[in-house]
Amino acid sequence: MTATATLAADLERLLKLRSHVFGMKLFADAAEMEAIPRIRRPKAVHALDQIVGQAARLGWTVGVTAEDLVGAQCRAVVGLGAAKTPEWRSGRHMKGVWYESEADSSAHQAAMHCVEDGRYEALAVGPLAAGRLEDPDIVLFYATPGAMMYVINGMQWSGYKRFDWSVVGESACADSWGRALSTRSPSLSIPCFAERRYGGVEDGEMLMASPPGPLEKAVKGMEALAKNGFRYPFPQYGIQQDVRAGMGVSYGERS
């Protein structure tokens, strides 16, 4: 197995995932994307949420260019084409839909994490287990809030750091793959309406997007936590029980 396929298998095992662990990779030359073995190319115009859903839910490896995506909002987040025009920055298309005024809409556009325009021609999205997407820029997976807390605990096991994430609201793909691709750092998001309506995201799911390295570190951390008896899913202790017995198992005399 490749390193990324092993990472996917470890995350699926430790977090009890119900959909595929998948990757994203940007290409400066669309021909490189098209050279991926058995790459699928859209036959219709899609939202990027749908392309992500095809990778996560169906196990497809899909490649897109700006022309395959429904509009500038999807293109801008991953930096395909010259999407960030003055018209896009104004947010007029969201006025009266998601935001009361053009000022609110424009502030939302400015708050989004997006890949820089002009550097890339294509994007490929696909499950890591398939082995077609070598060296992905970022790895993504959907999971419950409890599983997301566990993977964060794994990241913090060694070399602790606090994580601070933000919520842009609608267009929350900017909080996940937009942020992870542009900052190359772990990024957790609450999927938005469009991701749920068009991308098949379930009501109880959150989305983690990260370069492979922090997730490989998280796996080692979760393995260490498992040896201490902390495993996902977390068993319920009981809200009316004397807590000292349970705490004593974890902390011993320190409890």
pLDDT, tens digit (0-9, with 9 covering 90-100), for 62-72:
999 999 999 99
Residue-wise pLDDT tens digits, 135-170 = 999 999 999 999 999 999 999 999 999 999 999 999
78-114: pLDDT as tens digits: 999 999 999 999 999 999 999 999 999 999 999 999 9
pLDDT of 255 above 70: no
Helical spans, DSSP H, in the chain: 3-15, 30-34, 48-53, 72-78, 86-90, 102-111, 145-156, 177-183, 193-199, 212-227, 243-251
Q: What is the pLDDT of residues 110-131, one digit of tens each?
A: 999 999 998 999 999 999 999 9
- Whether the pLDDT of residue 46 is over 70: the answer is yes
Tell me which DSSP letter residue 69 carries.
B
Written as six digits, the tokens of 250 are 């974890």
Give the pLDDT mean for 6-28.
Answer: 98
- pLDDT exceeds 80 at position 1: no
Alpha-carbon distance of 95 to 73, in angstroms, equals: 14
Closest listed residue to residue 175, CA positions, set 192, 151, 196: 192
Type of residue numbered 92: R
For the segment 181-197, what is each residue's pLDDT rounded down to a tens digit? 999 999 999 999 999 99
Q: What is the pLDDT of residue 252?
A: 84
* Mean pLDDT of the region 12-22: 98
- Cα 80 to Cα 64: distance, rounded to the nearest angstrom: 9
